[in-house]
Structure 1
């Protein structure tokens, strides 16, 4: 049996009381959309997920912290030949995503309602073809920067799961998060693909603006779109 590492978790797990419809989504849909045994209770030996069985051999993408799920569902609809796993510990966000999945009728999604680090523990090495980190929690205070996702604690396990040449997209409206991203991500085995300012100022062609981005724009913050390739 693999010994579970000690991990602090600092984000929110639950917000406002869920609506009746949202509770129904979780009760009726979430288990069927699970990627498999991810929790330490259900998978203490950390047996890798069978992505072939999950998605039938499709390329697999990963979104870490999908918020309300707008981008995740958009990508699933736009890319039916891809399987996408979303990880999000905030149960209100999970409930919102499940409602969007019902309305969109997509079937190429899996949902992990928990810490992305647990999911990365059981993803096979070099199995992810694309990953997204979109408007992650900025943890603005300097003493909290170690809690950000763009630290080696998170990036090294992520890099292990990604195929050589796989793409990592990071979107943020926080200048200091951009700084830390450009410092930390290359250390984990990625190269930044920007050749000019337009490569981080202009959204990706298949981008859909999320509610977090719209809030940033209303408050006068400038989005940055950073693209990296796994070496």
Structure 2
């Protein structure tokens, strides 16, 4: 469990997982220094605001629908979605600073303008995103925490799913991709209990990726190692 501050200086709740890996390249440090503050979903220091003033997503994205990617890894998928869906605004959330730096480089290269980056715990973001404001959420190859005693650290637990459900609009889509069979089990047990319906009518609905899918580095690793991806789609009830 980490109790230090994130490399960007933001605070967080008890957090399990890596925050920084190998040293950043000089170009990646430049991305952090020059681009991150401008791409944050709120003004500098919003994470430390004890009042947790709600974000004005209408102003932030010009009234567009807003999507959320939880744990964007290296950023391939979230940049792809932003580039192919300029009619929406997207917030990418990732506490691993090396992944944040990679995403910032991809944003420069792609030139997308409808993407904002939260370099920290998604629970802090849930504190300031208005209820019923998100139209879609992605959870792609999350940390599997394979040991049974660590399953409570997974995202698909009430600590994370309850606030996610509140932030999603009725009818919003929640996509989960994982190559871990036990993560599939827990997802199918926990997510419907928080007000979601699993949209599957047959095996193809979880064996085949979504039509707008971009395979990530984590999926490619899973395929190389012989693990089978699962693609689960849920609808927020209400």
TM-score range for the pair, normalised by the shorter chain length: over 0.9
The alignment partner of 1:139 has SS state of coil
1:133 aligns with 2:102: no
**Take 1:218 and 1:92, find their aligned partners in 2: how far apart are those partners?**
23
Mapped to 2, the partners of 1:119 and 1:178 lie a distance apart of 25
Partner residue in 1 for 2:170: 164
* Contact kept? 1:155, 1:185, Cα under 8 Å: yes
CA contact (8 A) 1:37 1:43 kept: no
Indicate if the aligned counterparts of 2:37 and 2:44 stay in contact, CA closer than 8 A: no
Q: Counterpart in 1 of 2:103?
A: 97
Q: Which whole-Å CA distance do the structure 2 matches of 1:161 and 1:45 have between them?
A: 18
Are the counterparts in 1 of residues 47 and 124 from structure 2 also a CA contact under 8 Å?
Answer: no
Question: Are residue 178 (structure 1) and residue 184 (structure 2) matched?
Answer: yes
1:42: Cα distance to partner?
3.2
Is residue 69–residue 138 contact of structure 2 (8 Å, CA) maintained in 1? yes
Q: Name 2:79's counterpart in structure 1.
A: 73
Q: 1:191, 1:41 → 2: CA distance?
A: 32
TM-score by length of 2: 0.93
Following the alignment from structure 1 to structure 2, what is the Cα–Cα distance between the partners of residues 221 and 99?
A: 29
Deviation at 1:200, TM superposition (A): 0.1
Name the Cα RMSD after superposition. 1.2
Gaps of 5+ in 1: 1-5
Q: Unpaired runs of 5+ in structure 2?
A: 1-11
List per-residue Cα deviations over 1:45-102 (Å, max 9, x = no partner).
Answer: 0111000111000000000000000000000000000000000000000000000000
Describe the SS at the equivalent of 1:30.
Answer: helix
Aligned to 1:34: 40
CA separation in 1, counterparts of 2:64 and 2:125? 19
1:148 matches 2:154 = yes
Correspondence for 1:227 among 218, 225, 233: 233
Distance in 1 between residues matched to 2:45 and 2:70, nearest whole Å: 16
How do 1:98-117 residues align onto structure 2 when only pairs under 5 Å count?
98-117=104-123
Q: Is 1:191 matched up with 2:197?
A: yes
SS of the equivalent of 2:176 reads: strand
Mapping 1:53-68, distance limit 5 Å: 53-68=59-74
Count, aligned residues: 226
TM-fit CA distance, 1:35: 0.2
Output the CA distance in 2 between the equivalents of 1:29 and 1:37: 13
Match of 1:206 in 2: 212
Using the TM superposition, give the Cα deviation of residue 163 of structure 1 relative to its aligned residue in structure 2, in angstroms: 0.1
Point out 4+ residue stretches in structure 1 off by more than 3 angstroms: 37-42
